[in-house]
Chain A
Amino acid sequence: MLRDIIKKEILDNITSPKFVFTFLLCTILILLSIYTGVTNYRAEKKEYTAALALNKKNMESQPNYQSLAGIGIKISKPPQVLGTVVTGIEEAVGRVAPVNIAADPNLIDSKYSSNPVFAVFGSLDLMFIVKIVLSLFAILFTYDAIVGEKEKGTLKLALSNDVPRDRLILGKAIGGYISLLLPLLIPLVLGLLILLITPDISLSGQDWARLLLIFLLFFLYLSVFFSLGLFVSARTSRSSTSFLVLLFVWVVFVMVIPKVAVITAGQIRPIPSVHEITAKKDAFLQQIQSEGQKGVIEWSKKNAADAQKDVKAYQEKFRKFIQDYQQELTSKIDENNAALERDYQQKKRAQQSLAVNLSRISPASALTFGSMTLARTGIDDFDRFLASVRAYKPIYTKWINSKLGQSINFQTGETIQIKIDDMPQHIYEPQWLSQSLVRTIPDFALLAVMIIVFFVGAYVSFLRYDVR
Chain B
Amino acid sequence: MLEAISLTKRYEDGELALDGLTFKVEPGEIFCMFGANGAGKTTTINLFLNFIPPTSGTALIEGVDVAKDPLKAKRHVSFVSENVMLYGNFTAVQNLDYFSRLAGKRNLTKKDYGAVLEQVGLQKEAFDRRVKNFSKGMRQKLGIAIAVVKDAANVLLDEPTSGLDPQSGREFLEILVQMRDKGKSVFMSTHDIFRAKLIADRIGFMRKGRLVMMKTAKELAHEDLTDLYIQYMEEQPGQPAPTAAPSA
Contact = CB atoms under 8 A, between A and B. Distances in A.
Contact of B102 (A12, A16, A153, A158): A158
Contacts of B81: 153, 156-157
Max chain B Cβ within 10 angstroms of own Cβ: one of A4, A154, A156, A162: A162
A4 B51 CA distance: 22
Contact of A157 (B72, B75, B99, B104): B99
A84 B104 CA distance: 50
A460 interface: no
A57 interface: no
A4 B156 CA distance: 24
Contacts of B150: 161
Contacts of A466: 51-52
Contacts of A158: 99, 102
Contacts of B103: 161
**Interface footprint category on B:** 20 to 34
A8 B98 contact: yes
Interface string B85-113: 11111100010001101111000000000
Given A162-B72, A162-B74, A163-B102, A157 B90 contact: no
Max chain A Cβ within 10 angstroms of own Cβ: one of B70, B74, B77, B102: B102
A467 B51 contact: yes
B86 A152 contact: yes
B87 A12 contact: yes
A400 B100 CA distance: 85
B94 A11 contact: yes
B71 interface: yes
Interface in A417-444: none
Nearest to B72: A162
A1 interface: yes
A156 B75 contact: no
B213 to A, nearest CB: 26
Nearest to B89: A15
Contact of A162 (B86, B98, B104): B104
A160 interface: yes
A4 to B, nearest CB: 4
Interface in A113-167: 151-154, 156-164
B99 A161 contact: yes
Contacts of B1: none
B79 interface: yes
Given A11-B94, A12-B87, A161-B74, A156 B51 contact: yes
A468 interface: yes
Q: Which 4 A-B pairs have the closest CB atoms?
A: A160-B79, A15-B89, A152-B85, A153-B84
Interface of B: 42, 46, 49, 51-52, 70-72, 74-75, 77-79, 81, 83-90, 94, 98-99, 101-104, 143, 146, 150, 156
15 contacts: A4-B102, A11-B89, A12-B90, A151-B85, A152-B85, A152-B87, A153-B81, A154-B86, A154-B87, A156-B49, A157-B146, A160-B49, A160-B156, A161-B150, A162-B71
Interface of A: 1, 4-5, 8, 11-12, 15-16, 151-154, 156-164, 466-468
Given A153-B83, A161-B75, A468-B52, 10 more contacts: A12-B87, A12-B89, A12-B90, A156-B84, A157-B81, A160-B74, A160-B77, A162-B71, A162-B74, A163-B71
